């Protein structure tokens, strides 16, 4: 029954959640990054529990030209109440672990998930209001254009690429949700048997859907993150997927390698290359076969071609009098 005590693993997860959650008050929860050719270093907003930080003044200045309201932390009542809600949940988690009852674990998990949903809906509404409530006398007006950033992921806004992703505090928040979910599943399985885990599959699918993935490169729209040239030939396009979930496109493998050599502090999750033949899809560089040949004529004379099929590599290598390469040798 739900009045039974929790098992030790679930109780420890609840204790750990109570310890970790207060850190969210002091760490950035969410971030919105903006990339454009005139800002190669990028611009960012970091949303904390009680503040907005980052390049706020610069972004407010840019937004003025398109009629968006300026952002000030005083305009958001959420910054007043959110720290108290977070600390309140931390205290409740500690009390719940101390009292040690399954029904309390179930209630706290449900309340925490509901709070997360309400917070995301409120965030979406904030983005919607700022992106759609525009000054009709703005200097720059594009009929039918709205400037709402994505709730999560990537969206193109005129010449700016906007990325919206969790920051450190947000990942802690998500991690706590997963720990609570683990505790609930453990207790539910003990009470109802292994089949009860099916009840949680929709939640698991939701978290799976949030998996970080590389964004497809858009021909004629994306620009190389290194040389700033427009990407015009998908056969040679490459991309870096950062640990933060951001996709950095390049028009040539040579540009990508030059960028990583200069920016050694970049947090690379994966490197992708386009297939030379077929649909020119992005594949992991570690899973591709490479050849090099002056006859390829790639945009920046890197002259590397990638294949997922060894036979395709052999055929093109013979036709272009090329030389086979491994990813390890190319990176050196």
Whether 321 and 250 map to the same domain: the answer is yes
For residue 223, tell me if it sits in a domain: no
Tell whether 131 and 38 lie within a shared domain.
yes
Residues contacting 76, CB < 8 A, separation 6+: 52, 126
Distance CA 286, CA 271 (A): 8
Of 168 and 139, the structure prediction assigns the larger pLDDT to 168
Residues 23 and 160 in one domain: yes
- pLDDT value of position 123: 92
State whether 60 and 109 are in the same domain. yes
Specify whether 73 is located in the same domain as 161.
yes
In a domain, 118, yes or no: yes
Q: Would you say residue 216 lies in a domain?
A: no
Q: Is residue 221 part of a domain?
A: no
Which residue in this structure is represented by tokens 């960028």? 259
- Given 193, 209, 225, the domain boundary residue is 209
Same domain, 156 and 268: no
Q: What is the pLDDT of residue 66?
A: 85
Q: Picking from 100-114, 139-153, 253-267, 316-330, which range would have the lowest pLDDT averaged per residue?
A: 139-153
What gap in Å lies between CA 92 and CA 108, rounded to an integer?
8
246 and 203 within one domain: no
- List, for residues 48-61, the tens digit of each pLDDT value: 999 999 999 998 88
Residue 220 resides in a domain: no
Q: How confident is the model at residue 37 (pLDDT cuts 50, 70, 90)?
A: confident
pLDDT of 207 > 60? The answer is no
**What are the CA-CA distances from residue 187 to residues 92, 128, 151 (Å)?**
19, 40, 33
Sheet holding 304-307, edge to edge: 304-307, 289-292, 323-325
Task: List pLDDT tens digits, range 228-266.
Answer: 888 989 999 999 998 878 889 999 999 999 999 998 888
Query: Across the strands, what pairs with 165?
Result: 31
Tell me whether residue 3 is in a domain.
no
Residue 24 has pLDDT above 60, yes or no: yes
**Are both 186 and 288 inside the same structural domain?**
no
Residue 321 has pLDDT above 80, yes or no: yes
What does pLDDT average to over the chain?
A: 87
Residues 247 and 112 in one domain: no
In this prediction, residues 137-145 reach a mean pLDDT of 80
Domain membership of residue 76 as a residue range: 8-209
Write down the pLDDT at residue 211.
59
- pLDDT at position 73, please? 87
Same domain, 99 and 177: yes
* CA distance from start to end of the chain: 61
Number of domains in the chain: 2
Does any domain span residue 155?
yes
Residue 228 inside a domain? The answer is: no
The rounded distance, in Å, linking the Cα atoms of 235 and 272 is 12
Cut 0.75: pTM above it:
no
| For range 146-174, the mean pLDDT | 87
Of 141, 174, 209, the last residue of a domain is: 209
Distance CA 260, CA 196 (A): 47
Same domain, 196 and 250: no
Q: How confident is the model at residue 42 (pLDDT cuts 50, 70, 90)?
A: confident
Confidence grade of residue 196 (pLDDT, cut at 50, 70, 90): very low
- What average pLDDT does range 147-173 have in this prediction? 87
Tokens 């290359």 sit on residue: 273
Of the chain, the percentage scoring pLDDT greater than 70 comes to 92
Judgement on whether residues 249 and 195 belong to the same structural domain of the protein: no
pLDDT(194) > 70: no
């Amino acid at each position: 029954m739900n009045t039974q005590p929790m098992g030790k693993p679930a109780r420890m997860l609840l204790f750990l959640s109570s310890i970790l959650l207060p850190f969210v008050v002091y760490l950035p929860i969410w971030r919105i990054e903006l990339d454009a050719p005139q800002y190669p270093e990028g611009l960012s907003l970091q949303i904390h529990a009680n503040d907005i930080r980052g390049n706020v003044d610069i972004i407010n200045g840019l937004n003025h030209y398109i009629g968006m309201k300026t952002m000030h932390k005083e305009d958001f009542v959420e910054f007043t109440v959110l720290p108290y809600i977070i600390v309140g949940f931390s205290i409740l988690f500690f009390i719940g672990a101390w009292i040690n009852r399954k029904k309390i674990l179930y209630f706290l998990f449900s309340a925490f998930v509901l709070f997360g949903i309400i917070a995301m809906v409120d965030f979406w509404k904030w983005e919607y209001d700022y992106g759609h409530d525009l000054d009709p006398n703005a200097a720059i007006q594009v009929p039918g254009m709205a400037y709402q950033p994505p709730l999560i992921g990537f969206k193109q806004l005129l010449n700016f690429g906007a990325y919206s992703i969790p920051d450190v505090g947000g990942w802690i928040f998500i991690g706590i949700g997963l720990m609570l979910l683990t505790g609930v599943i453990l207790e539910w399985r003990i009470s109802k048997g292994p089949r009860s885990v099916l009840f949680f599959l929709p939640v698991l699918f939701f978290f799976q859907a949030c998996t970080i993935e590389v964004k497809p490169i858009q021909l004629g729209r994306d620009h190389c993150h290194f040389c700033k040239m427009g990407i015009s030939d998908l056969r040679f396009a490459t991309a870096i997927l950062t640990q933060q979930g951001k996709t950095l496109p390049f028009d040539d493998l040579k540009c990508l390698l030059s960028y990583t050599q200069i920016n050694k502090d970049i947090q690379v999750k994966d490197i992708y290359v386009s297939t030379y033949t077929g649909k020119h899809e992005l594949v992991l560089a570690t899973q591709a076969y490479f050849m090099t040949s002056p006859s390829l004529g790639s945009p920046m004379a890197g002259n590397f071609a990638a294949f997922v099929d060894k036979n395709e590599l052999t055929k093109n290598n013979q036709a272009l009098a090329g030389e086979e390469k491994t990813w390890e040798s190319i990176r050196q």
